[in-house]
């Protein structure tokens, strides 16, 4: 495979370009070489946003730390035993890793030695499109055919895909996630797909946190749906999620999110894909090690999506927004819509699902003092009065006039007194 290519990138337009230039000036001299590697190069070549910039270098970690400290930057030894130092310049972090060569690989944990061969370092990486590197002058280096694959948006393992997967079984999920993000929308590379199926037992070795991270990214990728269909056909979604998947519901969720103009949400899409009843939410919580907040959100979706439809009166819908909060209301409405027979252009569902965008949730204006002055002492009766008054206030359409509030407070105090 070639090394230096005729392709050039302009790093001056990248995020943190000034800080990156200062870092490369420190590392790319005096007998050592440094290049930008991985996702930043890939995304720059296809005009996609760059979120982080990683640097590889021939310098040993101790030399990286020495140079960084001498330049007045901050060096954080985040993975120094594996050759990685995080360098912080004006609050912007860069992950700097010394070139490596595998001595022995066994799953996630590889025994490595530091090296100086860029081609050998590139051969260690997972996919050809992730093995590109660029020098300080913008010259792109390609040792694995990444430019050719990037041109046709093909996600392809470097070398033998079975070997790449055995080195780290998370690469099965990364294969599908990168295909969903960068592929053309069709089926993934056949050789890679076959290797993923052959190595699927290795998924059981992965930590749930790592599986969650990849799945959440996959769910919001541009071509998530066809990718999930391929994964389901291979039996991988059942293996990962442990239950039935609702692909039609997922497809509709993508459409209705777009219809109301909200950003793709991985938790909401996970609910559409895998949650029908509360037990589904519990299973996904356990299998993916979701956060408690994510779990609670899925439970709320499971319990509420059947109860919300355009048949709910406008006043009742506003009360639900008040009780649930705008996020949960939107979750319920979109999931109900995605599982209805109506299209993503249905005006009734559209009006309901966008109500939180037009309705400002009010703050309950009555306080404990309003009931204490009406003779309700501190204790359970006071709490009962507040809850009754709040329910009446919401049922009456959230009035804000002093007369209406006094009547609500008087009635609640009399009932609780």
Q: What integer pLDDT is reported at residue 103 of this predicted model?
A: 61
Strand-pair category, 100-106 with 92-98 = unpaired
Q: What pLDDT score was predicted for residue 185?
A: 82
pLDDT above 80 for 106: no
Kindly tell me if the per-residue pLDDT of 107 is higher than 60. Answer: no
pLDDT, mean over the chain: 95
Q: What one-character-per-residue DSSP string does 75-91 give? A: EEEEEGGGTEEEEEETT
Residue 174 contacts residue 214 (beta carbons within 8 Å): yes
* Helices and strands in the chain: count of H runs, count of E runs: 22, 10
Quickly tell me which residue has 């295909």 as its tokens. 179
Q: What are the tens digits of pLDDT across the range 365-390?
A: 999 999 999 999 999 999 999 999 99
CA 398 to CA 142: how far, in whole Å? 64
Specify the pLDDT at position 4: 86
Q: And the tokens for 38?
A: 């991985």
Prediction pTM value: 0.90
Rounded CA gap, 407 and 412, in Å? Answer: 9
- Give the integer Cα–Cα distance in Å for 219 and 310: 27
pLDDT at residue 347 greater than cutoff 70: yes
Please state whether beta strands 100-106 and 74-79 pair in parallel, antiparallel, or not at all (unpaired): unpaired
Q: Answer whether residue 292 shows pLDDT above 60.
A: yes
Q: What is the pLDDT of residues 385-411, one digit of tens each?
A: 999 999 999 999 999 999 999 999 999
Report domain extents, the chain.
4-151, 159-239, 242-361, 368-416
Report CA-CA distances (Å) from 168 to 164, 191, 196, 248, 328.
7, 17, 11, 32, 37
CB 28 within 8 A of CB 151: no
**Residue 270, both tokens:** 């996970």
The angle at the Cα of 302, spanning 296 to 304, to the nearest 5 degrees, equals 100
What would the two tokens of residue 126 be?
């997972």
Helices (H), 168-277: 170-182, 190-198, 208-219, 224-233, 236-241, 247-260, 266-274
Write down the pLDDT at residue 186: 87
121 within 8 A of 115, measured Cβ to Cβ:
yes
Which residue reads 């792109």 in tokens?
140
46: three-class secondary structure by DSSP: coil
Q: What percent of the chain has pLDDT over 70?
A: 97
Alpha-carbon distance 377 to 155, whole Å? Answer: 69
The per-residue pLDDT for range 36-93, each reduced to its tens digit, is: 999 999 999 999 999 999 999 999 999 999 999 999 999 999 888 889 999 999 999 9
Among residues 155, 152, 131, the alpha carbon closest in space to that of 3 is found at 131
For the domain made up of 4-151, give the CATH fold: Beta Polymerase; domain 2 (3.30.460)
Name the band, by pLDDT with cuts 50, 70 and 90, for residue 416: confident
Separation between Cα atoms, residue 289 and residue 301, nearest integer Å = 18
Q: Which residues are CB-neighbours of 98 under 8 A, at least 6 positions away?
A: 56, 57, 58, 59, 60, 61, 64, 83, 84, 114
- Chain-centre distance of CA 320, in angstroms? 28
The two three-digit tokens of residue 127, written as one number: 């996919």
H or E element at residue 327: helix 326-338
User: Has domain 159-239 been given CATH number 3.40.50.620?
Assistant: no
Cα 414 to Cα 417: distance, rounded to the nearest angstrom:
5
**Residues 235-270 pLDDT 10s:** 999 999 999 999 999 999 999 999 999 999 999 999
DSSP per residue, 175-201? HHHHHHHHS-SSPPPHHHHHHHHHTGG
């Amino acid at each position: 495979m070639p090394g230096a290519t005729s392709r050039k990138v302009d790093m001056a337009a990248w995020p943190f370009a000034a800080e990156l230039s200062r870092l490369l000036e420190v590392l790319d001299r005096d007998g050592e070489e440094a290049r930008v590697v991985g996702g930043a190069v890939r995304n720059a070549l296809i005009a996609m946003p760059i979120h982080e910039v990683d640097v590889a270098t021939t310098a040993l970690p101790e030399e990286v730390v020495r140079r960084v400290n001498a330049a007045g930057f901050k060096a954080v030894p985040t993975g120094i035993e594996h050759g990685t130092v995080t360098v912080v310049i004006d609050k912007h972090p860069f992950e700097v890793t010394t070139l490596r060569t595998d001595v022995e690989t066994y799953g996630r944990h590889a025994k490595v030695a530091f090296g100086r061969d860029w081609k050998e370092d590139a051969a260690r990486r997972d996919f050809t499109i992730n093995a590109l590197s660029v020098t300080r002058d913008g010259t792109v280096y390609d040792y694995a055919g990444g430019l050719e694959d990037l041109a046709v948006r093909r996600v392809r393992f470097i070398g033998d895909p079975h070997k790449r997967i055995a080195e780290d079984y998370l690469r099965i999920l990364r294969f599908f996630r990168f295909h969903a993000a960068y592929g053309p929308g069709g089926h993934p590379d056949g050789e890679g797909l076959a290797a993923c199926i052959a190595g699927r037992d290795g998924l059981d070795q992965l930590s749930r946190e790592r599986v969650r991270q990849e799945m959440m990214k996959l769910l919001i990728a541009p071509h998530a749906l066809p990718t999930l269909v391929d994964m389901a056909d291979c039996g991988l979604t059942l293996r990962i999620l442990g239950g039935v998947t609702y692909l039609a519901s997922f497809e509709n969720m993508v459409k209705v999110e777009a219809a109301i103009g909200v950003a793709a949400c991985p938790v909401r899409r996970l609910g559409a894909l895998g949650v029908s009843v509360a037990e589904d939410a519990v299973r996904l919580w356990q299998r993916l090690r979701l956060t408690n907040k994510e779990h609670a959100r899925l439970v709320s979706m499971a319990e509420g999506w059947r109860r919300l439809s355009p048949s709910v009166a406008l006043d009742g819908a506003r009360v639900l927004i008040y009780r649930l909060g705008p996020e949960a209301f939107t979750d319920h409405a979109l999931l109900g819509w995605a599982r209805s027979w109506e299209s993503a252009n249905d005006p009734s569902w559209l009006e309901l699902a966008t109500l939180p965008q037009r309705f400002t949730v009010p703050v309950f204006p009555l306080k404990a003092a309003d009931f204490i002055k009406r003779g309700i002492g501190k204790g359970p009766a006071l709490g009962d009065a507040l809850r009754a008054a709040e329910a009446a206030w919401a049922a009456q359409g959230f009035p804000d006039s002093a007369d209406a509030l006094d009547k609500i407070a008087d009635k609640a105090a009399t009932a609780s007194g």
